[in-house]
Structure 1
Amino acid sequence: MDNKVLRKLEYHKIMDKLAQQASTFLGKQRVAALMPLSHIDEVNHRLQATEEASQVIRLKGHPPFSNIEDIVPALKRAKIGGMLNPKELIHIANVIYAGKRLVKFLNAVEEKELPILEHLWTQMQDLQHVEQAITQCINESGEIVDHATSALAQIRRELRLGESRVRDKLMQMIKSPNTLKKLQDGILTIRNERYVIPVKQEYRSHFGGIIHDQSSSGATLYIEPEVIVNMNNKLKEWKLKEEREIEKILIQLSHLIEEEQDNLHINLDMIGHIDFIFAKAKLSNTLQATLPKVNDQGYLKLKQARHPLIRIEDVVPCSIELGGTYTSMLITGPNTGGKTVTLKTVGLLSLMAMSGLFIPVEDGSEISVFEGVYADIGDEQSIEQNLSTFSSHLTNIIHILERMTPNSLILLDEVGAGTDPTEGAALAISIIEHIYKRQCRLIATTHYSELKAYAYDREGIINASMEFDVDTLSPTYRLLIGIPGRSNAFNIAQRLGLSQDIILDAKSKVNHADQKVDTMIANLEENRVTAEAERKEAEQIRTELQQLRHELEREKESQAQMRAKVMNKAQDEAAHLVKKAQKEAESIIQDLRKLALEEQTSMKEHKLIQAKKKLEEAIPEKEAAPKPKKKNNQKVNIEAGDEVFVEQFNQKGFVIDVINEKELTVQLGIMKMKVRKDGVELIQKKKQEQSTASRSAILKRAADDPVQMELDLRGKNVEEAYIELDRFIDECVLSNLNQMHIIHGKGTGVLRNGIQQYLRKHKYVKSLRLGEYGEGGSGVTVAQLK
């Protein structure tokens, strides 16, 4: 890609923004080397890597890249056998630790598959043994620790002991009143790594020893007293031993780095690559950019594209489509109207996408990979530079024509400008025609009316313009596709107050064809404004209708729920009255039963039970609140046997037959009804293990069961037992059972006597007996059925 074109399209400014997002020097190096690619597979690979990083940021946040210093020079010195210093070694340990943290962070992202990032982090080598070897010898401040080796620990113990002895000896001297008056200050200090005391000039011979330094005035001498010279010599010996031991440790660690330098370079490369990918994702978030679809057919479809170097608050988005119905676009409009920005936007977004960067467009945008992007964009338009400007433009265009291929994007600003308008327009048309025949993608800006007419009737080339507000005499920076720009000179002059006579005279001197074109453009623009206003009005009406529809549906559901509440309240009141009457009836039945026992008269128990059942059945069942209508019910698979709710009759029922895709036959109580499928809501699918709620089938299965049927009535009173027993006998008869076991317990015998008395009088009971051993004894009654 031509560096001159990259500069004109301000690609380097995007790279500066990208470098700011990189966390390491390694990532910044990769940004500096980034260039657009022309192969679609490589571009898609880059974009997919950016997408993976964006997903990681959304799910887990930003990865850790801290404490990564430039260790490349240290690795080079280790490679040639040099000894690394403690700071360099601790930086290497930090890089190893950072790589380990990065791998752990990426491995923790389980929600998404990250094939590209995973390929990178799995190449990183495990160098924990190198990190541990360094950190066991060197602390974070870059100092060799005492326990690095046992020899170093012994040496430092001797050093501390020797220093303590020297300080104690000197402190004894300082504390002596006789000595203190000979000292400038009662302190200890160090000169040339040896302990000394500040002695007044006149007492220099009193202490003997060695003079190491003196003050600037010469009044103070820093003397090492003779009594500690040997002690300081001993300390010096231990310090030399310490230096040799430290050197030995550093050499060993440097050799380890030399052995692992290839793996360290691999880790550095992977860390830098991952940092670079995440920098692209961070820039995408900053620019509010999206992932475009990529093709290599020269097709561009940019929805609401924004120039990435203009603030989001200030930029006016534009939508551009190129390479489909038309391959060339001619943009006209006033100066400072946004034509050049539009050219740069298309070119820069293409370069960004080809570099693996998301672009600031709306979702659904598509961009092409080009073999070359060429641009002739210049801002010099002064009269004095007309010749040089024209020559410069023409030189650039010649360069482009020589190098362009059919899969090229060409951006020409003010094509043919800087010379005679007639010749310039003719030259511009010829250049555009040549590029068009080569099937390149072209966007050009111009002021020439001849080019508007040329594009108007040329298949594959379309006019466009930058909108200008005549009322405010300022551009709106909106791109209008399909409408050429028209001259607003007369309108502007009129609004500024120029005489109407002068304006009319000027209009009479304009070529008739130009007037016709200008009128055509004005009509097109007027039609566009009208159509856009009507579209907005239709959109507003559609939105209002949808809102009204939703409100009506909510109101309908609210009314249905209110009706259900009223019905439930009425049914609750009715149930309360029936229950009250039931209690009174039970009280009367109880009194009658007691009276019958007292008078030794016979009373038919089953009649009492039937009367009680009628009272229970008199309690009304509550209607279920209607459920909201299910949308797209045609898609629900309704089959015979399914339980459904029929909205038309507000009742539940069972599907008997599916007539066709739109109609069903439904059993509603004793009636069979033909209903529409869209007026039916599925409540429950039929159960596979049993038929649709057929009790006879359930009881038939019970008859096949080898286990004897039992009824447990323990804990119930006699009246409750009669009801349960009567139902149980009916079920056993329907199931063809010839024997049943009634569990009543022993207790006081009241329940047993009442049950046996009832069974003896029942028409389906042949005989009865108490349970035998193993059957429950007197706590169970066994009845034989007819």
Structure 2
Amino acid sequence: MTTDNIFINDKCLETLEYNKIIEILITKASSNAGRELCKKLLPSSDKKVIDKSIEETDAALSYLWKSSSISFSGLKDVTKSVLLLEKSGSLNAGELLDISSLLYTTKGVCEYFSNEDGIIDNEGPLKTYTENLNPLNSIKREIDRCIISEDEIADDASSTLKSIRRHIHTTGDKIHSTLSGIIKKDAANGYLQDNIITMRSNRYCVPVKAEHKKNVPGMIHDQSSKGSTLFVEPMEVVKLNNELSELYSKEQEEIAAILQSLSNMVATSSREILNDYNALKYLDFVFAKAKFAKDSKCSKPIFNDKRYINLKQARHPLLNKDKVVPVDVHIGDDFNLLIITGPNTGGKTVTLKTVGLLSLMGQAGLFIPADEGSNLGVFHNFFADIGDEQSIEQSLSTFSAHMTNIVKILESADSDSLVLFDELCSGTDPTEGAALGISILNFLHNLDVRTLATTHYSELKLYALETEGVCNGSCEFDVATLSPTYKLLIGVPGKSNAFAISKKLGLPDFIIDDAKSKISESNIAFEDILDELDKNRVEIEKARAEITENRTQTDNIKAEYEKKLKALEERKEKEIAKAKEEANKIIEEAKAYADSTIKELRKDASVGDTKNMDRTRNKLNEHLKKNKTNSSIAKSKQSKTYKASDFHIGDKVKVLTMGADGIVSSLPNPKGDLYVQMGILRSLINIRDLEIVDEPDIIGAPIKYNKSGSGKIKMSKALSVSSEINLLGKTVDEAIGLLDKYLDDAYLAHLASVRVVHGKGTGALRTGITNYLKKSSYVKEFHRGLPEEGGDGVTIVEFK
């Protein structure tokens, strides 16, 4: 990232601990090239450059939230190899494998950004780096086919190499066979030191005792350190060894030819390979920034041209995020100078560093650990005088060292600067130090420099009260517990707690009273005013807390009411369903009873028993009358006759025999049967048992409790969202991406439950979906399908 028009010395970056942020950022990159870009990252003062960098980080973070993490670990630096190829050079096996690794990473990144059709679908800020990526699959396949490792070329790299190696193997076998015979013969005569075949100078030899060298004729290639053993190449294998040496030479020549051929092939696409490398290197850097934002729970800062800072619940990124107290701080609107007072260890220095460090991070294109909506100005210069500046080498006191630094700041600071002073002009006479501090701050204030300063001097508090464009701030201190709250209060000067703390710790009252008598009445009055202001502030905050608590209680009562209302509705639905089920049961019993009665009537008729027939008929009428009394629900009939073409996927229908509503999820087959989804139950129903439910005009229908019109959208979505998603044949990553969007739509459509089809297979897809559902905020519970729901190949998901 460019650093045009910005001047930050290394000491300022170190003081504000920017370098430590970079050290963390480096760990988020997955390639050496990406880590180098992270290492060189510096803030910019060009708002266009900053906005571009921030938008790139935002785009990468969006991908991380909706997809699995992306890796660039296979990215290798191929710039030297490309330069060599452009000079018609030849690459070795290792360099060619690096190119293969780069192309493999390129392919993975292309798939990461591709849609279901395999097309890179990225119209955002990262399009510049993804649209021209080319994995060069044919080149990668050829390299992988020919090269096994840096030290091994595949036999099938060429037919010539395969033939040479076959001859090497055959010749080696002949040599071993011949030497084995020699060893067997000479070992019996005691000529050999060991019964082994060994290599010397790339020639097969046998170890012969020195005193028997005449008994084993051949060429001596080596001897042991003591000279007792000679390594002899028997004459019988000299010719074979010569043949083997020639074959090895031919093998190396062929390998060189293969590498040259591969190099020539790669050279034709050297520009594409270099483009892939540069694009992936930058993408690794951008995703490192996104991973930093995700892991540190950072948000996207908003930049302005007015040098206005408004940080909401800002946290110092190097402090424990579970313990650090967030601060709200702003400067640059009604005032350009903020003077912060408060006790030691009260958080004043942390506040200064937080403002400075978050400004640097934002201008470097990083997200910041603060709430959404935080604003940052664009500064050309950063200056910080923080910490112990005592210099032993220059024999300077702390005050002198601070003043040397302040002089340099005053020489360079302008209206485009952010200046931070910690304990301004401390370490000298308080009266003179306070006077100097006021003069320094007033100089910067008149230059319209955004300045934050911490101090213990009461004179600076008065200066802030009396000067337009200057504001007091304080770090709150609880006298009752003698501990800071680390809460920053803007507009409220910090009061001196020396007397109150001393009294709390047991200092006698007469000493405290004597000390007060030595302070001017104006100072005492000022401290009394601050004390009264602090009491009023505490009372106001207490009242505000009570209002918030009451509002929370009201919200809780409302939520409890809505919960009970929902439970009541669910109970109502269950009771209705139960009643329908009982009614259907009664009808089935009546039908069975009628069938048995008809059989009896036919039997009586065949024997002419009319009295018995009358008794049976009366008995049937009484049974039907009883069932009619017990149930007012009877099987409905179709109001009209439907054709198969009347039904469409997504139509809402009523299943007459079951008295239940459902959604058509398949078109009718030739027999008129189609599948209907009723909650978690999916059944095959004939169209003769269905009634199409006419829906009201959603666009014109009144929507209660929703003035925004979102109810209209949700009702429309409810009609279009299926209660089932089929993920068969998908990879885990593909399935999770599809499932994430589907659950969003289903939840917005107010579906009570859905059916996720993943099949049984190896179980990997089911496991991945299970792990995802455990983390979903929408899901109330889920379970594997029952036999009638699809068994282990299906997961039923119920929403909250």
* Same fold, TM-score > 0.5, yes or no: yes
Report the equivalent of 1:97.
104
* Structure 1 residue 178, shift from structure 2 partner: 5.2
| Local SS of the residue matching 2:181 | helix
Distance in 2 of aligned mates of 1:621 and 1:506: 93
Kindly report the root-mean-square deviation, in angstroms, between the aligned alpha carbons of the 2 structures.
3.8
Report the equivalent of 1:44.
51
Report the equivalent of 2:349.
340
Q: How does 1:26-37 map to 2 (within 5 A)?
A: 26-37=33-44
Q: Find out whether 1:67 has 2:74 as its counterpart.
A: yes
Distance in 2 of aligned mates of 1:517 and 1:327: 24
Over residues 365-400 of structure 1, what are the superposed CA-to-partner deviations in whole Å (9 max), with x where a residue is unaligned?
A: 222222222222232479999963333323333333
Q: Contact conserved, 2:148 with 2:154, CA < 8 A, in 1?
A: yes
511-520 or 213-222, which moves further after superposition?
Answer: 213-222
| Local SS of the residue matching 1:35 | coil
Q: How does 1:171-250 map to 2 (within 5 A)?
A: 171-176=180-185, 179=188, 181-250=190-259
Q: Contact conserved, 2:43 with 2:361, CA < 8 A, in 1?
A: yes
Report the equivalent of 1:594.
none
Q: How does 1:518-557 map to 2 (within 5 A)?
A: 518-552=527-561
Report the equivalent of 1:270.
279
Amino acid at match of 1:74: S
* Structure 1 residue 141, shift from structure 2 partner: 4.9
* Structure 1 residue 334, shift from structure 2 partner: 2.1
| Local SS of the residue matching 2:340 | strand
Of 295, 298, 305, the match for 2:304:
295
Amino acid at match of 2:111: K
Q: Which runs of 5+ in 1 are unaligned?
A: 581-616, 623-682, 689-786
Q: Contact conserved, 1:173 with 1:179, CA < 8 A, in 2?
A: no
* Structure 1 residue 268, shift from structure 2 partner: 1.0
Q: Contact conserved, 1:456 with 1:463, CA < 8 A, in 2?
A: yes
* Structure 1 residue 307, shift from structure 2 partner: 0.4
Amino acid at match of 1:240: S
Distance 1:531 1:255, change over 3 A: same
| Local SS of the residue matching 2:492 | coil
Amino acid at match of 1:443: L
Distance in 2 of aligned mates of 1:178 and 1:565: 96
Q: Contact conserved, 2:75 with 2:277, CA < 8 A, in 1?
A: no
Distance 1:495 1:396, change over 3 A: same
Report the equivalent of 2:431.
422
Q: Contact conserved, 1:137 with 1:144, CA < 8 A, in 2?
A: yes
Amino acid at match of 1:269: N
Amino acid at match of 2:336: T
Distance 1:341 1:241, change over 3 A: same
Over residues 635-687 of structure 1, what are the superposed CA-to-partner deviations in whole Å (9 max), with x where a residue is unaligned?
A: xxxxxxxxxxxxxxxxxxxxxxxxxxxxxxxxxxxxxxxxxxxxxxxx97589
Distance 1:155 1:40, change over 3 A: same
Q: Which runs of 5+ in 2 are unaligned?
A: 1-6, 591-627, 634-693, 700-800
Report the equivalent of 1:767.
none
| Local SS of the residue matching 2:411 | helix
Distance in 1 of aligned mates of 2:482 and 2:437: 29
* Structure 1 residue 437, shift from structure 2 partner: 2.1
Over residues 446-487 of structure 1, what are the superposed CA-to-partner deviations in whole Å (9 max), with x where a residue is unaligned?
A: 111000011123222211112223233333322122221222
Amino acid at match of 1:429: I
| Local SS of the residue matching 1:139 | strand
Q: How does 1:383-462 map to 2 (within 5 A)?
A: 388-462=397-471
Q: Find out whether 1:162 has 2:148 as its counterpart.
A: no
* Structure 1 residue 347, shift from structure 2 partner: 0.7
Distance 1:39 1:563, change over 3 A: closer
* Structure 1 residue 180, shift from structure 2 partner: 6.4
Q: Find out whether 1:2 has 2:8 as its counterpart.
A: yes
* Structure 1 residue 231, shift from structure 2 partner: 1.1
Q: Find out whether 1:472 has 2:478 as its counterpart.
A: no
Distance in 2 of aligned mates of 1:427 and 1:246: 79
Over residues 392-436 of structure 1, what are the superposed CA-to-partner deviations in whole Å (9 max), with x where a residue is unaligned?
A: 323333333333332322211122223322222122112212222
Q: How does 1:597-676 map to 2 (within 5 A)?
A: none
Over residues 707-747 of structure 1, what are the superposed CA-to-partner deviations in whole Å (9 max), with x where a residue is unaligned?
A: xxxxxxxxxxxxxxxxxxxxxxxxxxxxxxxxxxxxxxxxx
Amino acid at match of 1:254: S
Distance 1:483 1:687, change over 3 A: closer
Distance in 1 of aligned mates of 2:91 and 2:58: 40
| Local SS of the residue matching 2:471 | strand
Report the equivalent of 1:53.
60
Distance in 2 of aligned mates of 1:484 and 1:191: 89
Report the equivalent of 1:319.
328
Distance in 2 of aligned mates of 1:557 and 1:149: 74
Distance in 1 of aligned mates of 2:110 and 2:197: 53
Q: Contact conserved, 2:186 with 2:192, CA < 8 A, in 1?
A: no
Distance 1:42 1:570, change over 3 A: closer
| Local SS of the residue matching 1:116 | coil
* Structure 1 residue 104, shift from structure 2 partner: 1.9
Of 87, 91, 100, the match for 2:94:
87
Distance in 1 of aligned mates of 2:303 and 2:262: 50
* Structure 1 residue 494, shift from structure 2 partner: 2.2
Distance 1:218 1:36, change over 3 A: same
Distance in 1 of aligned mates of 2:434 and 2:69: 54
Q: Contact conserved, 2:390 with 2:401, CA < 8 A, in 1?
A: no
Distance in 2 of aligned mates of 1:280 and 1:297: 26
Report the equivalent of 1:755.
none
Distance 1:473 1:618, change over 3 A: closer
Distance 1:462 1:202, change over 3 A: same
* Structure 1 residue 166, shift from structure 2 partner: 0.5
Task: Choose 1 or 2 for highest CA Rg.
Answer: 1
Distance in 1 of aligned mates of 2:573 and 2:202: 99
Distance in 2 of aligned mates of 1:179 and 1:565: 98
Q: Contact conserved, 2:114 with 2:121, CA < 8 A, in 1?
A: no
Amino acid at match of 1:283: F
Q: Contact conserved, 1:297 with 1:407, CA < 8 A, in 2?
A: no
Q: Contact conserved, 1:22 with 1:276, CA < 8 A, in 2?
A: yes
Amino acid at match of 1:62: S
380-389 or 280-289, which moves further after superposition?
Answer: 380-389
Q: Find out whether 1:371 has 2:380 as its counterpart.
A: yes
* Structure 1 residue 181, shift from structure 2 partner: 2.8
Identical aligned residues as a percent: 41
| Local SS of the residue matching 2:125 | helix
* Structure 1 residue 70, shift from structure 2 partner: 3.1
Over residues 111-163 of structure 1, what are the superposed CA-to-partner deviations in whole Å (9 max), with x where a residue is unaligned?
A: 98552222201122453343234223211454122222222222222211111
Over residues 754-784 of structure 1, what are the superposed CA-to-partner deviations in whole Å (9 max), with x where a residue is unaligned?
A: xxxxxxxxxxxxxxxxxxxxxxxxxxxxxxx
Amino acid at match of 1:217: K
Distance 1:621 1:41, change over 3 A: farther
Distance in 1 of aligned mates of 2:414 and 2:291: 34
Distance 1:378 1:560, change over 3 A: closer
380-389 or 463-472, which moves further after superposition?
Answer: 380-389
Amino acid at match of 2:472: N
Q: Contact conserved, 1:387 with 1:418, CA < 8 A, in 2?
A: no
Q: Contact conserved, 1:24 with 1:65, CA < 8 A, in 2?
A: yes
Distance in 2 of aligned mates of 1:485 and 1:273: 48
Report the equivalent of 1:769.
none
Distance in 2 of aligned mates of 1:105 and 1:323: 43
